[in-house]
Amino acid sequence: MKAKNIKYLLVATLLFIVAPGCKKFLNVEPIDALSGNNFWQTRNDVEGFTNGIYSRLRDKIGFSVIMPALDVRGNFVKVVGTIDNNGNNVFNNLIANNLKPAITGSTTYDGRLRAIMDWKAWYDIIAASNILYYEVDNVPSSALSDADRKRYKAEAVFTRNLSYMFICKLFGDAIYYTEPYNSKALPRTPQVEVMKKCIADMNAAKNDLPEAYTDASLIGLRPTKASAVALLMHLNMWAAAWDTGDKTGYYKSVLTLGEEMANYKNYSLLPITVENTQRIFKGRSSENLFGVLQDYNYGETFSTFSNYSYFFSHFPIRGGITKTTSFMAYDKDYINKLFPAGTPDARVSVWFENYNADNNTFQFKKYINVYATGSGASLSINSDDSAVIFRLPDVLLLAAEAAAELADDATARTYANQVRAAAAAPAFTTSGEELKNDIYKERCRELIGEGQFFFDLVRTKRAVNTEYSKAVISVGNFNNGAWTWPLIISSTERSANPYLVGNNFWN
């Protein structure tokens, strides 16, 4: 894939070069040699440019520590080994919800956390998506069918709204625009308004996505109608968390989307087994709604630290033969509450070894697709799992949560118990607030290590409750933005956009 699309990656890169001396925030200047009559002439041009967008997403997810960090921040975990480059201090601060040292810190892991605090990569995806949406209409009809034209435009809508979702979940208010080659300096738009725009945008384009792909290599890695449903459910639930008005409409929309998801017969839950775990996190199973491919056999590999297993696993799942312990582990009291002794749950035996050891013998076995490099004493085991952004249990539990918020406990239990059944765990029989808490904990169980923990903690406002976070945020600090990530703004960006401001709490 890398070699095949390098031409189009270069094209996409050049399309983002800002003209010399131009100081326009989020501005993209077209390059004459790559526009007009010289580009956007064939289906290959469109497909190559589209692949460039997914490559940008891959770089953001697969070459950063963002996914592990989202599960570590504020969680009931601890550093139990020596990471490297002062990583122990950095991750202890992350667990404690203390991000300020990383803003100016000089260690390798300070830099990796700072990469999360820069939203430029997300806006690169948005800008490219806007260009794709606009330019695909200029491709001659002889080169591109109407159905393909609509599909590519719908993919552009999906990738830009996925990016806005991440921006709002990370930083709150976002600079929102959909124009191609934007040259306007814009202020940040309140995140609820951004979510509403994204919901309308995605709803309008959803039905132009395919229900399934006949090409097996695209399954789970390019968006379908079900991918759009998953994104819309997340957008609605995030909007509901912050809208101070009536939230009923958002929850009803999520339930309608849940009903729609049930109509897509290509998707189904897989019972929790070792074999199915490998299939799910390879990225192309019946549970996978959207993700980013990693496959060593095709030269598609991520950075070692982008996967949760780098921190929570050891040989023979991760590392060299001398790495016999893990860097991090879950606190015993927390993991025992999550997976109580005596309660059947296949996830305990399949996804963990020494799950409540509370020390460096803890082993996380959810990510077990691997590839090896070297041999003998130099043998090293690396993760070969894809990055799963949306999968079926996630959206079923969002539907359960929405039903519980509407006091429809029977429907909530029906959705949640599908996930419980796949884990061979007893069905929920609770109701009311107890059921809401059960559904939240089920998300913690099922999605452990998948980058959902901190977003859920914030979205449900449980970040202010010591029962749910190791580093509780006071109500005052939460309302002032302590849940966000610091937004690092360069001097060039400040000069280019006088409307641009950071996040108050971290300022």
Q: Tens of pLDDT along 383-399? A: 999 999 999 999 999 99
Short-list 244, 202, 206, 251, CA closest to 224 = 206
| CA distances in angstroms from 404 to 25, 229, 252, listed in the order given | 43, 19, 11
Contact between 367 and 317 under an 8 Å Cβ cutoff? The reply is: yes
Short-list 340, 358, 360, 368, CA closest to 442 = 340
The whole-number pLDDT of residue 24 equals 41
The whole-number pLDDT of residue 19 equals 32
Q: Tens of pLDDT along 220-243? A: 999 999 999 999 999 999 999 999
Task: Give me the residues paired with residue 464 across strands.
Answer: none
The whole-number pLDDT of residue 21 equals 31
Q: Tens of pLDDT along 186-205? A: 999 999 999 999 999 999 99
Short-list 260, 445, 274, CA closest to 350 = 274
Instruction: Work out the mean pLDDT of the chain and round it to a whole number.
Output: 93
For residue 251, give the H/E element and its range. Answer: helix 248-261
Long-range contacts of range 104-112, CB-CB < 8 Å, 24 or more positions apart?
108/84, 109/65, 109/83, 109/85, 110/86, 112/64, 112/65, 112/305
Q: Among 15-19, 67-71, 291-295, 439-443, whose mean pLDDT is lowest?
A: 15-19
Q: Give CA–CA dist 277/450, Å, rounded.
A: 13
Packed helices 108-116 and 87-95: angle between N→C axes, nearest 10 degrees = 40
pLDDT band at 37; cut points 50, 70, 90: low
The whole-number pLDDT of residue 272 equals 98
Token look-up 């959902």 returns 452
| Higher per-residue confidence, 442 vs 8 | 442
The whole-number pLDDT of residue 46 equals 96
Q: Which two tokens stand for residue 50?
A: 């589209």
The whole-number pLDDT of residue 163 equals 98
Query: How many residues are there in the chain?
Result: 507
| 63 pLDDT more than 50 | yes
Contact between 48 and 8 under an 8 Å Cβ cutoff? The reply is: yes
The mean pLDDT value for 69-74 works out to 98
Secondary structure string (H, E, C) spanning 434-445: HHHHHHHHHHHH
Contact between 391 and 289 under an 8 Å Cβ cutoff? The reply is: yes
